[in-house]
Amino acid sequence: MKKLLKYLRKYRIESVLAPLFKMLEAVFELTVPLVVASMIDNGIGNGGNAGHIVKCFTIMIILGIVGLIASCTAQFFAAKAATGFSKELRSDLFRHILDLNFRSIDNAGTATLITRMTADVNTVQNGVNMFLRLFLRSPFIVAGAMVMAFFIDFKSALIFVAVIAVLSATVAFIMASNIPLLKKVQSKLDEVLNLTRETLQGVRVIRAFAYEDRQYDEFKKSNDELSSMQQRAGRISGLLNPLTYVIINLAIAVLIMTGSDRAYNGILTTGQVVALYNYMSQILLELIKFAGLIITINKALASANRISEVFDYEAGMEMIPDPAKLEKGTGASIEFKNVSMAYYEGSDEALSGISFSIEAGQTLGIIGGTGSGKTTLISLIPRFYDVTSGEVLINGRNVKEYDVDSLRSDTAVVMQKAALFSGTIRDNLLWGNEEATDEELLFAAETAVAGDVINAKGGLDGIVEAGGKNLSGGQRQRLTIARALVRTPGILILDDASSALDYVTDLKLRTNIKELSYNPTVVIVSQRTASVQHADKILVLDDGEAAGFGTHEELLSSCSVYKEIYDSQFKKEVG
């Protein structure tokens, strides 16, 4: 939680004023029992004094109004500080998540990051709000009531001391038991959210295989476990209010019995006994509030620790001082020198001993079976991941020596899954280059064979739904390729980006890219030999290792893996 307190710096004044106004309200509240005691002893007793009763009643009304104003002011400042705190925290957290390297995002998981960005930040916000409102008020009233009791009667005040000690021990025990459970609840919530997300994303597949019942059973199991944990945590925290009521009411009974005896013996007045009772009642109310505060703070602390964990995730890539800039607008040579890569420390290598090179402006085809390491390999070129050993060289220089922004601005990657965002076609294409003109956007679209997609949607202002749901798979792929071409990249990487295209469209796309005037270096990842056979060089991957490297003709005669893939696909086509 200490790491997150810096987000209250802009709201120092509000963070001070909120508890101070609450303390001012508490002072007025502590004064009321004394006024009531005076009204009973000097107004109602001794034959009655109407003037004194009216005076005391007027004072109580004034105290109530001033206390209400102080309370509303305190709550305003507390709410302003809490919402400002969450705004700053959420913005910083989102920025940090955007800066995380791919390895950190893989380790954290999307569902976890979403939960911590939303539910956990809201929980911490509520904790800050409640803390500013009650962390001084409740202890101040409890301590103040005890002090006032000593002023009234020392012996009766000892009951207050005993009650506060017992209640403090009760609260401490419940806190110690509840905090670990609350942490487990938040972790289980991550699991439920992840399952929900996967189900919604794969709902078509689930229905296609008629697995709705199985998916429901899996969700029900996780949801029941979450509910069970929440109930256990709720049962423990739910003990707080009943125990508080029992202890306080027993204390009130003892106090009234003791007070009545002392009043009968003339040691205390009736008004003083009533004042002591009122102070004990105030302690009861404040401890109930304080119990709620403790539960809220427990949840907030658990959420704050989870948010702090995200800030501890490694952000960005390790950079050298004064990194080089990659020259933009021309093709670049690519070389891998004995490259190996593992996603996690101690895990099996996804790539092992990969070595090859291509010249600037050439086309490299990468082919291999599922899980052979194709996507992993191309992720090393724009430095989405760092190699475990070996070197990746662009224009003869290690990618680690380049400024990451410069490297990625001249490298356009079209991922396996076409990702489009809600808005217009123009909005999506401008991701490639915010300053591109409509002519440049349309040229990139024609190169990507996406001109008909734009025409069908009514032009560049055609609407694209979130994820491109209103487009077919082939339309989405062509628009994402067009978005990449808007950047006029020196290195263009197509990671199985034409899998939804027919062979004619795929051929036209590759021909258009080959005719680009700025002559980019093109890397085509595919499982279809037809998509890579005309490349200048082809790299064949098999289980993370290079099974062959050369031209189409060379590989047919020298690489059994490539020949097997080629034969299986062409025999299938002929059949």
* Digit-coded pLDDT (tens) for 417-432: 888 889 999 999 999 8
Buried b (16+ CB within 10 A) or exposed e, 420-444: beeebbbebbbbbbeebeeebbbbb
CA–CA distance, 468 with 76 (Å, rounded to integer)? 43
Give the CA diameter of the chain. Answer: 120
Cβ neighbours of residue 108 closer than 8 Å, sequence gap 6 or more: 100, 310, 313
**What is the pLDDT at residue 575?**
43
- Domain CATH code at residue 188: 1.20.1560.10
Give the CA distances from residue 41 to residues 44, 45, 97, 252, in Å, rounded to whole numbers and listed in that order: 6, 5, 66, 21
- Full residue range of the structural domain in which residue 565 is found: 334-574
Can you point out the beta strands (E) in 105-228?
A: none
Domain assignment of residue 321, yes or no? no
Residues 409 and 277 in one domain: no
Kindly report the length of the chain: 575
Helix, strand, coil content of the chain in percent (nearest 5) = 65, 10, 20
Average pLDDT, the chain: 85
- H or E element in which residue 423 lies: strand 423-424
- Domain CATH code at residue 498: 3.40.50.300
Give the CA distances from residue 267 to residues 33, 44, 155, 258, 300, in Å, rounded to whole numbers and listed in that order: 18, 19, 11, 11, 48
**What is the pLDDT at residue 47?**
63
Domain assignment of residue 350, yes or no? yes
Domain assignment of residue 317, yes or no? no
**What is the pLDDT at residue 137?**
84
| Contact between residue 421 and residue 427 where contact means Cβ atoms under 8 Å apart | yes
Residues 366 and 271 in one domain: no
Residues 380 and 466 in one domain: yes
- H or E element in which residue 341 lies: strand 334-341
Question: What residues of the chain score a pLDDT lower than 70?
Answer: 1, 45-48, 315-317, 329, 571-575
| Contact between residue 478 and residue 451 where contact means Cβ atoms under 8 Å apart | no
| Contact between residue 318 and residue 402 where contact means Cβ atoms under 8 Å apart | no
Residues 300 and 338 in one domain: no
Residues 253 and 378 in one domain: no
Residues 297 and 341 in one domain: no
Question: Coil, strand or helix: which one is 465?
Answer: coil
Domain assignment of residue 327, yes or no? no
Question: Coil, strand or helix: which one is 135?
Answer: coil
Domain assignment of residue 325, yes or no? no
What is the DSSP-derived secondary structure letter of residue 162? H
State in Å, rounded, how far the first CA of the chain is from the last one.
66
Residues 291 and 347 in one domain: no
Domain assignment of residue 323, yes or no? no
CA nearest to 56, candidates 207, 206, 271 = 271
Q: Is the pTM of this model over 0.85?
A: no
Beta bridge partners of 366: 525, 539
Residues 477 and 415 in one domain: yes
Beta bridge partners of 335: 357, 393
Domain assignment of residue 528, yes or no? yes
Residues 422 and 301 in one domain: no
**What is the pLDDT at residue 470?**
87
**What is the pLDDT at residue 28?**
87
Residues 429 and 561 in one domain: yes
Give the CA distances from residue 426 to residues 292, 435, 452, 473, in Å, rounded to whole numbers and listed in that order: 51, 12, 15, 19
**What is the pLDDT at residue 574?**
44
Residues 225 and 297 in one domain: yes
Domain assignment of residue 533, yes or no? yes
Beta bridge partners of 351: 341
CA–CA distance, 517 with 520 (Å, rounded to integer)? 8
Domain total of the chain: 2
Question: Coil, strand or helix: which one is 547?
Answer: strand
CA of residue 555 relative to chain centroid, distance: 47
Residues 346 and 220 in one domain: no
Q: Residue 451 corresponds to which tokens in the numbers above? A: 């001109």
**What is the pLDDT at residue 512?**
92
Can you point out the beta strands (E) in 504-563?
A: 521-526, 537-542, 545-550
